[in-house]
A and B are shown apart, each in its own frame.
Chain A
């Protein structure tokens, strides 16, 4: 037989979604074709069998549980859930603001950075602060020069020069001087 039911016809036939004319045409075919009739009968039986599979109904707690979870939801959507256009505008505004903060105020030109001079560390823990004083008979050097001497590594390494200042707590004996 040439006009057997197509796949679609079987599905529509089982669903009962055929119009009068289509249904009449298929019925005529089924009356004459045992193969198609057998398949339709089995598929119809299958639909009945599938209907036996029952599903568990929602428990009585379902609504209360859902309400409780809904209550935990924020009333308004977070900022990232905004419409894309709004979110993009927000991000662009933030970027412009950040750029403005970065560029303003401009750094003034030719202004040297302030120099901080720290006092020298004590030579002996717990010792009183050392005050460098020139030897008697010598012209007094400006106070800041003496302080600068403590921060001058070249000077500190030169014992002959350092000797000009009373920076040592104890006088150096000739033996000690020789060992240096």
Chain B
């Protein structure tokens, strides 16, 4: 029988560091993806993901298997991401550096087709930038709901728990977010690559 996340985490609580490595290996990619979509910078996303796992490890003694492990994990990831974004906004307000982030999405390695031509890759990057901008323009809670629903494929009860709202409020939040995105990204809908 497969060991559940909660069982792994209970082992971590008992002092088994290998059990923690199992959980980190399972969730590192979803957590890094989520944080990347929140903060846009791959290096920062990785740093924050490590911070998330460290927080989990530090809190191991107080772990109680009340909710799903992934709910707990993504709630921490959400807090870490929001704190980082707020800190970043504060930094940008204070700084007047000319070499500030251009806001462009780097083309991820996995999406680069070695056979594809430069033009095709540029087109893809442009579309991804548009999608990113449209999602970023959503209110914070709607954006989180979309990232957790669409990209992390989480259940409603889990997302509602992470965002601290009811399931019906979450569905309303998602509907409004998708309606906004549908209108903003309409030019892309008819021109799928």
**A residues with CB within 8 A of B:** 7-8, 10-11, 14, 39, 42-43, 45-59, 62-63, 65-67, 69-70, 73, 75, 77, 81, 83
How distant is the Cα of A13 from the Cα of B190 in the complex, in angstroms? 21
B182 contacts A58, CB within 8 Å? no
Q: Contacts A45-B192, A50-B181, A62-B49; is A56 near B128 (CB within 8 Å)? A: no
Where chain A touches its partner, the secondary structure class is helix
A55 contacts B151, CB within 8 Å? yes
A7 contacts B36, CB within 8 Å? no
* A-B contact number at CB 8 A: 122
How distant is the Cα of A52 from the Cα of B120 in the complex, in angstroms? 14
Task: List the B side residues contacting A11 at CB < 8 Å.
Answer: 171, 174-175, 178
Task: List the A side residues contacting B178 at CB < 8 Å.
Answer: 10-11, 14, 43, 46
Give chain B interface residues in 4-19, CB to chain A under 8 Å: 15, 17
Tell me which of B25, B29, B181 contacts A46 (CB under 8 A).
B181
Task: List the B side residues contacting A58 at CB < 8 Å.
Answer: 28-29, 32, 46, 49
Give chain B interface residues in 32-84, CB to chain A under 8 Å: 32-34, 36-37, 42, 45-46, 49-50, 53-54, 57-58, 61-62
Nearest-Cβ distance from residue B6 to partner chain A, whole angstroms: 20
A53 contacts B46, CB within 8 Å? no
Q: Contacts A11-B171, A46-B182, A53-B132; is A62 near B58 (CB within 8 Å)? A: no
How distant is the Cα of A65 from the Cα of B17 in the complex, in angstroms? 15
Q: How many residues of B contact A (CB 8 A)?
A: 54
A62 contacts B46, CB within 8 Å? yes
A56 contacts B28, CB within 8 Å? no
How distant is the Cα of A81 from the Cα of B59 in the complex, in angstroms? 9
How distant is the Cα of A68 from the Cα of B168 in the complex, in angstroms? 43
Nearest-Cβ distance from residue A28 to partner chain B, whole angstroms: 21
A66 contacts B109, CB within 8 Å? no
B115 contacts A by Cβ under 8 Å: no
Residue interface mask B155-176, A partner, CB < 8 A = 1:
0000000000000100110111
Q: Contacts A65-B50, A66-B50; is A56 near B106 (CB within 8 Å)? A: yes
B150 contacts A45, CB within 8 Å? no
Identify 4 new A-B residue pairs, CB closer than 8 A, beyond the known A39-B182, A49-B131, A53-B37: A45-B190, A45-B192, A58-B49, A83-B61
The winner among A50, A55, A65, A83 for most chain B CB atoms within 10 A is: A55
A7 contacts B171, CB within 8 Å? yes
Smallest CB-CB A-B distances: 3 pairs: A7-B175, A55-B33, A56-B42
B188 contacts A by Cβ under 8 Å: yes
Nearest-Cβ distance from residue A66 to partner chain B, whole angstroms: 5
Q: Contacts A56-B36, A56-B109, A57-B109; is A43 near B171 (CB within 8 Å)? A: no
